[in-house]
């Protein structure tokens, strides 16, 4: 039975796993990205993770999901924001394939999360869906007829950088008013802290929301409004069977799912178009493993 390494490289954490061709999770590790220490430090962390897995398992290939726009044919990063400094230009084949004499396959981190949900999660047996990741930033993965759509410049699905409010808040992509500045976990936390709060973590928001803090409720109402507009636009543009929502912020959906459903109904949409991701923070590992398994065939 084939066994592959699936690695998910994000701005805050690197998560890796050994997964079999039938989806068994055989080993798992997570470490801090420490992106501020630069590219070489991040790559060293990935190497240490791969070495651990290779020493303990018989591995057939390596799949990697990475933040940034990824040229999947050349396995290179063509664009990345400052969430991963110096990341543009990383060549994963040069870095890892030669080091371990194993085939290496790479894609954008949200694309591999979508692949993971399609394989073992909420997207199973759904041919056409949009995967919306709400975390530190906002990303999207487009699945049409069971295939990932990547785009001419490897940036298809980048809904986080659609303009929601022209001339609005500055974004680290250089534009103003991007979706990411309004519906990401970071954006919601920043908005809350522009009131009289000084929260360090998103979980504090939901405790206060549950306690009917009026300022928090107003912030969440704005978030739901902006999210519903984004979902409406995704539905109009792609007409997917469902929109699967994942990422850290989506895990709080039981607080705001009902309000979101009402907003979607006001736009004429059946709220059942939204499904919630089921793999949690392991979607990227499953997806990058599946990418490797499929690419080997």
Task: Tell me: do 137 and 251 sit in the same domain.
Answer: yes
Task: Tell me: do 48 and 151 sit in the same domain.
Answer: no
Question: 37: Cβ–Cβ under 8 A, 6 or more apart, which residues?
Answer: none
Task: Tell me: do 20 and 60 sit in the same domain.
Answer: yes
Task: Tell me: do 63 and 132 sit in the same domain.
Answer: no
Distance CA 289, CA 285 (A): 6
Question: 167: Cβ–Cβ under 8 A, 6 or more apart, which residues?
Answer: 176, 177
Instruction: Please check whether residue 173 lies inside any domain of the structure.
Output: yes
Task: Tell me: do 160 and 259 sit in the same domain.
Answer: yes
Decide: pTM greater than 0.85. yes
Distance CA 250, CA 201 (A): 14
Task: Tell me: do 71 and 151 sit in the same domain.
Answer: no
Radius of gyration of the chain (CA): 19
Other Cβ atoms within 10 Å of 280 Cβ, number: 12
Q: What is the CATH number of the domain that holds 67?
A: 3.30.420.40
pLDDT in tens, the chain (297 residues): 999 999 999 888 999 999 999 999 999 999 999 999 999 999 999 999 999 999 999 999 999 999 999 999 999 999 998 889 999 999 999 999 999 999 999 999 999 999 999 999 999 999 999 999 998 899 999 999 999 999 999 999 999 999 999 999 999 889 999 999 999 999 999 999 998 889 999 999 999 999 999 999 999 999 999 999 999 999 999 999 999 999 999 999 999 999 999 999 999 999 999 999 999 989 999 999 999 999 987
What confidence score (pLDDT) does residue 181 get? Answer: 97
Q: How many domains does the chain have?
A: 2
Instruction: Please check whether residue 205 lies inside any domain of the structure.
Output: yes
Instruction: Please check whether residue 121 lies inside any domain of the structure.
Output: no
What confidence score (pLDDT) does residue 297 get? Answer: 73
What confidence score (pLDDT) does residue 173 get? Answer: 87
* Exposure b/e, 227-265, CB count within 10 A at least 16 = b: bbbbbbebbeebebebbbbbbbbbbbeeebeebbbebbe
Longest dimension (CA), the chain: 58
What confidence score (pLDDT) does residue 11 get? Answer: 82
Give the range of the structural domain holding residue 47, as residue numbers without chain letter: 3-114+281-296
What confidence score (pLDDT) does residue 104 get? Answer: 98
Instruction: Please check whether residue 235 lies inside any domain of the structure.
Output: yes
Task: Tell me: do 225 and 141 sit in the same domain.
Answer: yes
- Map tokens 């989506």 to a residue: 250
Task: Tell me: do 135 and 248 sit in the same domain.
Answer: yes
134: nearest Cα among 248, 225, 287: 248
């Amino acid at each position: 039975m084939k066994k592959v390494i699936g690695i998910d490289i994000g701005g805050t954490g690197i998560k890796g796993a050994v997964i079999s061709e039938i989806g068994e999770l055989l080993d798992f590790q997570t470490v801090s990205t420490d992106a501020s220490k630069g590219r070489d430090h991040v790559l060293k962390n990935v190497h240490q993770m791969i070495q651990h897995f290779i020493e303990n398992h018989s591995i057939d290939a390596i799949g990697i999901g990475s933040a940034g726009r990824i040229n999947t044919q050349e396995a290179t990063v063509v664009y990345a924001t400052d969430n991963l400094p110096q990341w543009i230009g990383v060549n994963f084949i040069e870095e890892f394939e030669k080091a371990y004499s194993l085939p290496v396959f790479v894609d954008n981190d949200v694309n591999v999360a979508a692949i993971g949900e399609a394989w073992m999660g909420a997207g199973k047996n759904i041919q056409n869906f949009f995967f919306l990741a709400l975390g530190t930033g906002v990303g999207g993965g487009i699945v049409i007829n069971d295939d990932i759509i990547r785009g001419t410049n490897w940036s298809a699905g980048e809904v986080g950088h659609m303009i929601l409010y022209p001339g609005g808040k500055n974004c680290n992509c250089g534009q103003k008013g991007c979706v990411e500045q309004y519906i990401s976990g970071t954006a919601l936390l920043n908005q809350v802290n522009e009131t009289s709060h000084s929260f360090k973590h998103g979980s504090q928001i939901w405790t206060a929301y549950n306690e009917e803090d009026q300022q928090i409720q107003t912030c969440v109402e704005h978030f739901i409004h902006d999210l519903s507009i984004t979902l409406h636009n995704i539905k109009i543009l792609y007409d997917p069977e469902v929109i699967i929502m994942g990422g850290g912020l989506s895990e709080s959906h039981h607080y705001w799912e009902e309000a979101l459903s009402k907003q979607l109904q006001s736009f004429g949409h059946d709220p059942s178009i939204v499904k919630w991701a089921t793999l949690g923070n392991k979607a990227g590992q499953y997806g990058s493993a599946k990418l490797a398994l499929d690419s080997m065939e």
